[in-house]
Structure 1
Amino acid sequence: MNKSTNITWHDASLTKEMRRKQSGHHSFVLWFTGLSGSGKSTVANAVAQELYNNKIKNYVLDGDNIRHGLNKDLGFSDEDRTENIRRIGEVSKLFVDAGQVVLTAFISPFQADRGLVRDLLEDGEFIEVYVKCPVDECEKRDPKGLYEKARKGLIRDFTGIDSPYEEPSNPELVIETNLSSVEGCVEQVIQFLQSRNYI
């Protein structure tokens, strides 16, 4: 529900197509979703580096980083998780409109929320990348010590422990970080983008 009143949409002088032409490439969202510790941020940043090396303008929106600023007022209830993803979806749409590639690394546990972001964008602008990794492997890695805290009851509503993760039903790409190296995962993403003429 929009609480703003007395507002009017103002059309921009530059179109998305003009910005894409200036950038020299298509603009789209690479939406990395998966459990904490699955490797979303690691792979997203490695892909970003590869895109940069190929002169493709891009930016990474990382879950923890966004919660330090834009979404610092949100917790981890189902409602706050939904609002977190809604805001990221709107920001991602702005990046796409600006003619850039945006890579997002968010657990984004609910299919409906990811679907809402997909619906914000035009066909071909949302690429869902499921960073698949068994929860026991994620827990072994536990780079931030979050699973241990969740097991001890120090963190509530932790995805994979006492809050559900809904696997993507039909993602554009699945990368299995327990089976492939970071370099291998990056290669899979780049090959996918090349096969679809995104880059």
Structure 2
Amino acid sequence: MEYRKNIVWHHSQVSRSHRESLNGHRSVILWFTGLSGAGKSTIAHAVEAQLHQRGCSTFVLDGDNIRHGLSKDLGFEDSDRKENIRRIAEVAKLMLDAGTITLTAFISPFRLERELARRTVAEGDFIEIYCNCDLTVCEQRDVKGLYRKARLGEIAHFTGISSPYEPPENPEIVINTDQMNIEECLAHIFDRLQKMGILSPIPVLPKALKRSSTK
């Protein structure tokens, strides 16, 4: 499109490193993926609560919440699912630059879309956390009755029933939520994040920002 030639990225005087220094920690995207009922939202919010207690700047992008606003125009066909993940990846990238630890809780069923989300940021900024849970356990946990409706044909394109889920091949973190309780999941996640240097303190930058002159 011709108009795109006139679009220029404006660089802020306040960089990501300045924001990280102010927050006292590096920013990162923690991407939770797994079947419906695998515990993504529950664990993501529990991780955020612990990070908040440590004084970290955090925000959870939750699948249901996003579909109330940013993606309310999308359905659940494969093409809409892909567009949903593309939007989330771009929002998460902006929040990464804002110096925030961003936690995303989405089924994000397709490997290609998760890989594209990973590629939107630099290596080491995207931490894939696979909430591995057997389908039968997910169905047993189904308080909304979605799996039952999907098996009755009342819901189309439902992941795990009428639409595929492609498990991550090399996720940074795996939690087996059908075998581990939430405390064990949290302990494992924080142990891995610590070993990866994600939670290491960031030193305060010694130099103040310089004002740029406007002409």
Taking only aligned residues, the RMSD between alpha carbons, in angstroms, comes to 1.3
Q: How far off its partner does 1:9 sit? A: 1.5
Question: Sequence identity of aligned pairs in percent?
Answer: 53
**Local SS of the residue matching 1:174:** strand
Equivalences for 1:1-199 in 2 at 5 Å? Answer: 4=4, 6-199=6-199
What CA deviation, in whole Å up to 9, does each residue of 1:51-93 have, x standing for no partner? 0111111100000100000000000011100000000000000
> How far, CA to CA, are the matches of 1:131 and 1:185 in structure 2?
9
Distance in 1 (alpha carbons) for counterparts of 2:139 and 2:3:
41
CA distance in 2, matches of 1:130, 1:88: 17
TM-score (norm 1): 0.97
Unaligned runs of 5+ residues in structure 1 are: none
2:63 partner amino acid:
G
Q: Where do 5+ consecutive residues of structure 2 fail to align?
A: 200-215
2:3 and 2:82 map into 1 onto residues whose CA distance is 18
Q: Deviations over 1:159-184 (max 9, x none)?
A: 00010000001000100111111111
Give the structure with higher Rg (CA). Answer: 2
Equivalent residue of 1:32, what SS? strand
Cα distance in 1, alignment partners of residues 8 and 121 from structure 2:
21
Structure 2: how far apart are the matches of 1:47 and 1:143? 22
| Equivalent residue pairs, number | 199
SS at match of 2:178: coil
